[in-house]
Amino acid sequence: MANAAGVRQDKVRFIVGDLETTVGTFQFNPSSPSGSELRLPARAESRFIPTDAEKIDNSEALDGYAGAIASTRGAIGMGGTLVTELRANSVTNVFPTHVKQLLASGFEASAYSNPTLTLIPSTKALTNWPGETGGTRSPASMSLAECLIDNNTADEWTGIRGAVLATKITLGTNGLVLYTSEITGLVYNSLILDVSDTDLSGFGAEPSGQGKDPIVVKGATLVVKYYDDGSHSSGSTITPDRIRSMEIDLAPNIIRIEDPTADEGFAVSPVFYDGAIGATFEMADSADYDNSVTAGTIMAGMKSGRGFVSIEFTLTLDSSFSVDQTIKYTLPRIQYDAERANADGARAFTVTGQAVRPERGSSASMMTVTYVHGTA
């Protein structure tokens, strides 16, 4: 990096992150790193900033003089955006960084049978992270650090503790699989930015066994079914062409928790799944999707509000193992709106849906992520 006239390069950043062994307690010591901290496969859109930073107005204070009086700092939290790539990982890694991102987004690992881990939206409280051995897991909070390397002479870092995430999963055809997380977290040790570190080059490392290239949405296995009202147990498999621009918005409800005993006024936020999970995608407007499902069927199901689609989307992350490393996103019941549109001259449906439970009293999950870490 060649800085000139005090202008520094933004590209020379990296993000370190991991789940917290004690909820709300910062995991790292950047000034004295172990070198084994996880550097996340983050992208340049990632950036950490103070959020919910209140300034208390003192304009009503009476002291005999005109003019505004300086405000008083109230509570302050940390937030920002974390964007990461989906990558293959070591066959022995049950909880790679993309799984940990889901756990910090309020998902739980509801089942584990080597080599398969099942994740669903959780109603459980955040718990201390017990370690990397395969098993079930409750949601957990995350520690994050954004680091800037400045010739290893004036490096700096921004830390967040107690972070929970609101995550969108982008599965754009022929594009990268991206996890985009909005962060709600806490200030670490009353420190917004640490500029005292002279060399952070030894802070963190790429996860052992992580794939050299990000995963591209191609060669996937996609199963789409259409269900009429009252027939969710026997959907019709359809084969729409030109499915693209798929996005899953986990859309949890994350609220700030005011805490009068906290130095900066906030405690760790809970993650609630109160509403639906969002699902959007585009597909060709076809006269026949097979099994007697037509464009008219799709529109009738939207109009009635009682037509549903389900999606199973499976990607192979690494096929070099005796059991492939794969990830599958399952949305079993999507209630949708469909807009007929022009897509580069072709007729298309833009589908905006909500992944929901089938009925009152059903314990079925709105979404399941199945991660198979593979067998050597």
92-137 pLDDT, tens digit each = 999 999 999 999 999 999 999 999 999 999 999 999 999 999 999 9
Closest CA to 102 of 277, 321, 336: 277
Q: Across residues 20-37, what is the average pLDDT?
A: 95
Query: Would you state the pLDDT for residue 288?
Result: 83
In sign, the C-alpha dihedral spanning 151, 158, 44, 211 is: positive
Q: pLDDT band for 297, please (50, 70, 90 cuts).
A: confident
pLDDT reported for residue 68: 86
Q: In the chain, what percentage of residues exceed pLDDT 90?
A: 69
The pLDDT of 308-337, averaged and rounded, is 95
Which residue reads 């072709």 in tokens? Answer: 346
What pLDDT is stored for residue 231 in this prediction? 59
- 41-84 per-position pLDDT tens digit: 999 999 999 999 888 988 888 989 988 889 998 999 999 999 99
pLDDT of 3 over the 80 cut: no
pLDDT at 233 over 80: no
236 falls in which pLDDT band (50, 70, 90)? confident
Q: H or E element: which one contains 47? A: strand 47-51
Mean pLDDT of the chain: 92
User: pLDDT band for position 230 (50/70/90)?
Assistant: low
Can you tell me the distance from the alpha carbon of 163 to that of 187, in angstroms, rounded to the nearest whole number? Answer: 10
What's the confidence (pLDDT) of residue 90?
96
The residues that bridge with 161 in the sheet, in sequence order, are 186
Helix count (H) and strand count (E) of the chain? 2, 22
Whole-number pLDDT of residue 4 = 57
Q: pLDDT over 70 for what percent of the chain? A: 98
Running DSSP on this structure, what letter comes out for residue 153?
T
- Strand pairing partners for 357? none
| pLDDT above 60 for 2 | no
- Give the whole-angstrom CA distance, residue 365 versus residue 238: 23
Asked whether the predicted pLDDT for residue 291 surpasses 80, the reply is no
- In this prediction, residue 232 has a pLDDT band, given cuts at 50, 70 and 90, of low
SS3 106: coil
Average pLDDT over residues 151-161: 90
pLDDT at residue number 158: 96
Phi first, then psi: what are they for 339, rounded to 5°? Answer: -110, 125
φ, ψ for residue 54 (rounded to 5)? -90, 135
Q: What is the mean pLDDT of residues 166-181?
A: 96
Six-digit token string for 195: 């500029």
| CA gap 29, 205 in Å, rounded | 14
Compare 86 and 305 and report the one with higher pLDDT.
86
Residue 294: what pLDDT?
A: 85
Indicate the SS3 state at residue 99: helix
pLDDT computed for residue 338 by the predictor: 86
